[in-house]
Amino acid sequence: MKKTYYLFNPGRLSRKDNTLKFTPVDEEGNELKPRYLPVEHVDQLYVLGSLDANSALYNFLGKNDIAVHFYDYYENYTGSFAPKCKLLSGKMLIAQTQSYLKKSKRLEIAQSFIEGASFNMLKNLKYYDNRGKDLMPVIDSIELLRKKLHSTMDVNELMGIEGNIRKNYYDAFNLIINDHEMGIRTKQPPLNIVNSLLSFGNMMCYSECLRAIQKTQLEPTISFLHEPGERRFSLALDLAEVFKPFLVDRVIFKVLNKKEIQVHDFEEKLNRIVLKEKGKKKFIQAFEKRLEETIKHRSLKRNVSYKHLIKLECYKLQKHLLGMDLYKPFKIYW
């Protein structure tokens, strides 16, 4: 099974026969012991340090269907290298574009994304409420807001309700997380430990959703909840809404409450709180472990990983756009 690899150190990536050779360098530019990655085992690379590579290397990556995601020093997602799409479909592109252009169809899909996302948020809250966190006032507020989702008349109105749901949800983080206050949601830049983990985790989830979309016939720049724009794969943002509550938020609750990540794993740079390299490794390890967990799928009647659930969600959306089935967002059922 192909895996995801993370490159934390600055270095040089090159081809060595049918393997990838990564040669890290230290702060003074001295080469360290190289690491070899068999190309048949690599699905995607996350680059969290500076990388030196040439066009021949990217040709090699493209031919072997290996994606590369880039992050800057401050944990911001800056872009991706995507292999040539092998599943091009004019029929799918037309159907996706028509659903975006028709207001009622776009709204229906956008409402489904928020329905699934808010349901999964509630599942998190109810899980911790059952463990003595007294979250019923927040749960009640979100349930009242959810009743308004399908009566919205346009995406802007829907986004307003989604914003209120998320505000209530984030307010509950102060009760769920021990020893750390979230305060208000701050993104650019994140101003405390919880916000820093949220920003980093959400970008990880966004990249996973983008990779899943790229393995289907969907066009990642045509979205329904988030407005399509320049230089971003907005459909990945749509899809990530459904998965962030149990792929990102639950990991954050775990690593903080079990003290797997602590204050010394962060540093303050240019008025923002960012993870140190050791902290990034700890979070990524927990995130990858979460992606590899499996559940018994109700329809398929077999175990599937959380990572594979994202791809299955893409297939469900494809069927909806082609008029084959109604899209129903994934909802936690355990």
CA 208/CA 187 separation, integer angstroms: 20
Confirm whether residue 292 is marked as ligand binding: no
The answer to whether the annotation marks 69 as part of a ligand binding site is: no
Mention every residue, 6+ apart, whose C-beta is less than 8 A from residue 256. 177, 178, 179, 180, 193, 194, 197
- Distances in Å between the Cα of 290 and the Cα atoms of 168, 235, 269, 333 are 25, 22, 29, 17
Please classify residue 13 by burial: count the beta carbons closer than 10 Å to its beta carbon, then call 0-12 exposed, 13-18 middle and 19+ buried.
buried
Question: CA distances (Å), 300 to each of 83, 295, 304, 312, in order?
Answer: 29, 11, 9, 10
Helix (H) or strand (E) holding 96: helix 90-101
Q: What does the DSSP assignment read for 5-19?
A: EEE-S-EEEEEETTE
Using only the alpha carbons of the chain, give its radius of gyration: 20
- Annotated ligand binding at 28? The verdict is no
**22 near 61, Cβ under 8 Å?**
no
Name beta bridge partners: 71.
Answer: 77
Which residues are documented as binding site for Mn(2+)?
Answer: 162, 226, 241
Annotated binding site: 162, 226, 241
